């Protein structure tokens, strides 16, 4: 039994394990091929994050979903490449918006070159994903387009903030369902769809993907505060510094505004509202949040979404792929400590 991927996930069937590992290797080859250009500089920029590695969470979900049909069907690997290319493209754009310096343990594209190169490289990756997608049929194009619309809508909603009278935590959960959950839902859907699985299985894996995707993002929210750079591959407190309202911060603010809020809660909110461009103030904010109940509250929310994802798998036949998908829920939660 081999550990698959950086999540420590084990697949308890040699044939399934071999299929998944071979599929992931083929996806890496496909990513390298899809990011080549006749212009050497474009190739260098486009392969910057591919070569940096990454969790390949979305391709892994495609490969596991394909186990409910024919895992060797010709559309499975290209679909996984499309989903990962789309994800990579969003990372280039995210780093520009967040002014991030580090991504996956290496300098971000915008830090390595500049914002224009990062944005245009992201656009290049989107175009390559679309090129591959066109060969997978009109339904695949429609599914990807709908997910991409939700992804962009989620990003815009995050930028705009909650409307008057709209609960900030509910708004945030809607944002990440769009920004993160939608594309991970496509990974589950494509795996089942491209392998020829029945419609019920396609639906189950789509819903599973969205919920585990939200759990995945909430785990990242916790990691942004609780981890060090070595663990997360990016600078701790990046979201804090950019004023991005992640779930632990939203729980803190809700607590500070409630009758149960303490002076310490309000002082921490004031610290977060100040200039966190100063490394000392950022370190102080991180230290305070790491021992605040809001962080544990965010961890519990991560567990809740992961449990919902696991429950979605109930209608599927009991097999090694289902067990691995259930294990993926546990692995996502374990990331959040």
Between residues 112 and 193, the one the model is more confident about = 193
Residue 177 predicted with pLDDT over 90 = yes
pLDDT for res 1: 39
Average confidence score pLDDT of the chain: 87
Instruction: Tell me whether strands 9-10 and 102-103 are parallel, antiparallel or unpaired.
Output: unpaired
Residue 231 predicted with pLDDT over 90 = no
What is 116-172 written as a DSSP string?
Answer: HHHHHHHHHHHHHHHHHHHTT-HHHHHHHHHHHHHHHHHHHHHHH-PPTTS-HHHHH
Q: Label residue 2 by pLDDT band (50, 70, 90).
A: very low
What is 44-106 written as a DSSP string?
Answer: HHHTHHHHT----HHHHHHHHHGGGS-TT-TTHHHHHHHHHHHHHHHHHHHHHHHT-SEETTE
Residue 318 predicted with pLDDT over 80 = yes
Residue-wise pLDDT tens digits, 125-134: 999 999 999 9
Q: Which of 134, 125, 139, 143 is nearest to 42 (CA)?
A: 125
pLDDT for res 237: 82
Between residues 53 and 218, the one the model is more confident about = 218
What is 254-272 written as a DSSP string?
Answer: HHHHSTT--HHHHHHHHHH
CA dihedral sign, ordered 13, 16, 19, 22: negative
The arithmetic mean of pLDDT across residues 267-274, rounded, is 92
Find out whether 240 and 282 touch, Cβ atoms under 8 Å.
Answer: yes
Residue 3 predicted with pLDDT over 90 = no
CB atoms within 10 A of CB 230: 8
Residue-wise pLDDT tens digits, 76-105: 999 999 999 999 888 876 666 655 555 555
pLDDT for res 120: 86
- Phi, psi at 157, each rounded to 5°: -60, -40
Q: List domains and CATH numbers for the chain.
A: 11-335 (1.10.600.10)
Residue 57 predicted with pLDDT over 60 = yes
The arithmetic mean of pLDDT across residues 222-245, rounded, is 76
CB atoms within 10 A of CB 118: 26
List residues bridging with 9 in a β-sheet: 4
The arithmetic mean of pLDDT across residues 128-146, rounded, is 95
Angle at 84 between CA 179 and CA 27, to 5 degrees: 160
- DSSP helix/strand/coil, 308: helix
Residue 179 predicted with pLDDT over 70 = yes
Residue 226 predicted with pLDDT over 70 = yes
């Amino acid at each position: 039994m081999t550990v698959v991927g950086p999540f420590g996930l084990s697949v308890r069937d040699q044939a399934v394990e071999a299929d998944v590992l071979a599929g992931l290797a083929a996806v890496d080859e496909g990513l390298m091929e899809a990011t080549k250009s006749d212009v050497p500089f474009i190739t260098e920029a486009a392969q910057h994050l591919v070569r940096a590695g990454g969790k390949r969470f979305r391709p892994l979900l495609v490969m596991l979903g394909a186990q409910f049909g024919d895992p060797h069907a010709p559309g499975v690997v290209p679909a996984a490449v499309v989903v990962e290319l789309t994800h990579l493209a969003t990372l280039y754009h995210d780093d520009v918006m967040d002014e991030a310096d580090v991504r996956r343990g290496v300098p971000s594209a915008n830090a390595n070159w500049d914002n224009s190169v990062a944005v245009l490289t992201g656009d290049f990756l989107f175009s390559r994903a679309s090129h591959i997608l066109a060969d997978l049929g009109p339904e695949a194009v429609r599914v990807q387009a709908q997910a991409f619309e939700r992804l962009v809508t989620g990003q815009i909603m995050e930028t705009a903030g909650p409307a008057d009278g709209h609960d900030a935590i509910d708004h945030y959960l809607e944002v990440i369902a769009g920004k993160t959950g939608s594309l991970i839902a496509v990974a589950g859907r494509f795996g089942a769809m491209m392998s020829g699985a029945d419609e019920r299985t396609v639906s189950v894996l789509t819903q599973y993907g969205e919920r585990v995707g939200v759990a995945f993002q909430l785990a990242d929210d916790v990691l942004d505060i609780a981890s060090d750079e070595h663990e997360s591959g990016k600078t701790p407190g990046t979201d804090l510094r950019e004023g991005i309202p992640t779930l632990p911060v939203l729980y803190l603010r809700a607590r500070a505004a409630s009758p149960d809020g303490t002076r310490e809660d309000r002082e921490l909110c004031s610290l977060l509202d100040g200039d966190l461009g100063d490394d000392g103030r950022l370190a102080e904010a991180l230290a305070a949040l790491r021992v605040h109940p809001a962080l544990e509250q965010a961890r519990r929310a991560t567990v809740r979404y992961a449990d919902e994802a696991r429950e979605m798998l109930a209608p599927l036949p009991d097999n090694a792929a289902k067990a691995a998908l259930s294990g993926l829920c546990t692995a996502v939660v374990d990331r959040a400590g």
